[in-house]
Amino acid sequence: MRLGPKLKTAWEPIWTPRLAYLVGLIATDGCLSGDGRHIDITSKDVQLLETVNEILPRRQKIASKRNGHGQTAHCIQIGDVAMYRWLLQLGLTPRKSKTIGRLNIPDKLFRDFFRGVFDGDGSAYCYRDRRWAASTTVCLSVASASIEFIAFLRNVLSTELGIMGSVSGFYHRVFQLRYAKRESGTLAAWIYYSDDIPCLLRKREKVKNILRGW
């Protein structure tokens, strides 16, 4: 997958589709440390972190770690004060999971930002609708512990695509924004508008396979 030229060696907050995607990923799978300098991105998919390295001006080491359940995850730590402060200006904060709200994302790049969010905390699945025999429903969803962030995403997608989705409580005080049936197809076509864009390849193929069989 060709992603085009990297960002310049010095961090410059010039909005591009690739940068918008990275911000979406940091908003979900990322963490701003309390030292005012470091940004961590964690994922179980090495490919996703390799894609992050293709966007960053300098390649970062990909380390592995285990969580409390013995599962292996991979992470990148970026040490960049200028980037850290820029992310603060966008609305991100340390310990953001329950406090994240509206972020200052350019409208024309929101689909790239949302693709990063979807790769971080999104899921795709299909299930049998009990109300009608032999009926299958496709669903794309994003989860967050912040209802304000969920509302922000939903409002922008409603404005941009005319899709409403639904919001429900999930588990452990996590909220879920869901798009089902034709709305899921509209959303997928919008965020995966090209084969030559940064994304979690495994998730994109899963979405395409689900929609192809619907």
Confidence of residue 27 (pLDDT cuts 50, 70, 90): very high
| C-beta separation of 176 from 141 below 8 A | yes
> What's the rounded Cα separation, in Å, for the pair 80 and 8?
14
| Residues 41, 72, 28: CA angle, nearest 5 degrees | 30
Say what the pTM is: 0.91
The two three-digit tokens of residue 18, written as one number: 């690739």
Q: What's the burial of 45, exposed, middle or buried (CB within 10 Å: 0-12/13-18/19+)?
A: middle
* pLDDT (average), residues 14-24: 96
| C-beta separation of 119 from 192 below 8 A | no
Handedness of CA 95, 89, 106, 51 (dihedral sign): negative
pLDDT at position 137: 82
**DSSP collapsed to 3 states, 33-68:** CCCCCEEEEEECCHHHHHHHHHHCCCCCCEEEEECC
* Mean pLDDT, all residues of the chain: 90
pLDDT digit string (tens) for 108-144? 999 999 999 999 999 999 877 666 555 678 899 999 9
Domains of the chain and CATH, by start: 117-212 (3.10.28.10)
The one-letter amino acid code at 104 reads N
Name every residue whose Cβ is closer than 8 Å to that of residue 95 and which is 6 or more positions away in sequence: 34
pLDDT at position 29: 95
pLDDT at position 131: 63
